[in-house]
Amino acid sequence: MLIGAIAMSTNATESKVTIAVKGIDVSRPGKVLVMLFAEEGFPKQHDKALRIISLNTTKTEQVVTFDETPQVFAVKVLHDEDEDGRVTKNWTGIWPKEGLGFSNGARITFKAPSFASARLDRNSVASPIVITVRYP
């Protein structure tokens, strides 16, 4: 009985989430930003991200771990080529010019994906969570 209680206690406090970012175009300059969000601010308000991990573009696939995550979250990956911390748009002012990826396979249509479409529950996702960066 005591062993079961200890196991349940450990699982309840485990909040690490590992993200495997795939498809990084290493021929492009800049940094890859992996952003962890609760619902507020997702996906456009980067200043509302709970955590941001910045990666060099040295490998086509990289793995990051967020040590503390909320129960429900979403992840956005931005290949920030000009390192301005924002998504640079193409000449239309609508479509992104830089690579993007979202948790749960969410995609940009005529607008940014909703939190509901990218939403993950920490207790029901397999680790690592794979996010593929897609380029225009």
- Does the pLDDT of residue 48 top 60, yes or no? yes
* Residue tagged 């995550």 (tokens): 69
CATH of domain 15-132: 2.60.40
SS3 48: helix
Q: What is the mean pLDDT of residues 25-53?
A: 98
| Cβ atoms < 10 Å from Cβ of 27 | 6
Domain boundaries, the chain: 15-132
**pTM exceeds 0.75 for this model:** yes
Q: How far apart are CA 118 and CA 1, in angstroms?
A: 38
Span 93-112, pLDDT tens digits:
888 999 999 999 999 988 89
